[in-house]
A and B are shown apart, each in its own frame.
Chain A
Amino acid sequence: GNSVTQMEGPVTLSEEAFLTINCTYTATGYPSLFWYVQYPGEGLQLLLKATKADDKGSNKGFEATYRKETTSFHLEKGSVQVSDSAVYFCALWRGPGTGFQKLVFGTGTRLLVSP
């Protein structure tokens, strides 16, 4: 089946620390991969995406590289801020032409950044 596995949280960091949130996936074919972020009290919003192997998605200082050989899409940021405190969701979609009609989410990883 199609699934996404994320590291359990919470991840607790001090401001300016390096962030990695692990994400691995299982899917048929060549899915598109996404990171969504949910700030406190809000809905999810797309953070970044990658649609094929070796693509790097980036936004707001966050990066993730689509690694087909390790079926991974780890989220990284070089220097986190307090305002990055949120829940981060990794997700996959099998892509156009597959008839696959859903976005598959991981369970989310909470990030807490202290000053």
Chain B
Amino acid sequence: EAQVTQNPRYLITVTGKKLTVTCSQNMNHEYMSWYRQDPGLGLRQIYYSMNVEVTDKGDVPEGYKVSRKEKRNFPLILESPSPNQTSLYFCASSYGLAGGLGEQFFGPGTRLTVL
């Protein structure tokens, strides 16, 4: 089954404790992206990747890191989480600029709470 998986689905942590949210897709997609969803603000892009070893900042990259060492994986790293990073996070993938970037496949989401 074609899918994007994220782990964990729920996470409660404390300020300053490094964490990683994993994202994996099995569709051989070139493009992957992280979003955060907050009430009244919709989806905001954090980082995206056009292909392996190619990443770039989205609209709200502060406080986050990403890496793309393999095509299927795109982990989101919070080196020192703060309460303002409490949010619902989504990973997404698509075929890329050749024509499929608008049709993105989303993971189920990770609800993060930073105390």
Give me the interface of A with B, judged by CB distance under 8 Å: 32, 34, 41-46, 49, 89, 91-93, 95-96, 99, 101-103, 105-108
Q: Which residue of A lies closest to B4 (CB)?
A: A43
A-B contact pairs, 15 of them (CB 8 A): A41-B109, A43-B90, A43-B106, A44-B106, A46-B103, A92-B102, A96-B98, A96-B99, A99-B97, A101-B31, A102-B48, A102-B58, A103-B33, A103-B101, A108-B42
Q: Which residue of A lies closest to B97 (CB)?
A: A96
Give me the interface of B with A, judged by CB distance under 8 Å: 4, 31, 33, 40-43, 45, 48, 50, 56, 58, 90, 92, 97-99, 101-109
A42 touches B108 (CB 8 A): yes
Q: Which residues of B sit under 8 angstroms from A49, Cβ to Cβ?
A: 102-103
Contact of A101 among B4, B41, B56, B103 (CB under 8 A): B56
Q: Which residues of B sit under 8 angstroms from A95, Cβ to Cβ?
A: 102
Contact of B101 among A45, A101, A108 (CB under 8 A): A101
9 pairs of A and B residues whose beta carbons are closest in the complex:
A43-B106, A93-B102, A107-B42, A44-B106, A105-B43, A96-B99, A32-B102, A108-B42, A43-B108
Q: Which residue of A lies closest to B43 (CB)?
A: A105
Q: Which residues of B sit under 8 angstroms from A108, Cβ to Cβ?
A: 42-43
Q: Which residues of A sit under 8 angstroms from B92, Cβ to Cβ?
A: 43-44
A107 touches B41 (CB 8 A): yes
A105 touches B42 (CB 8 A): yes
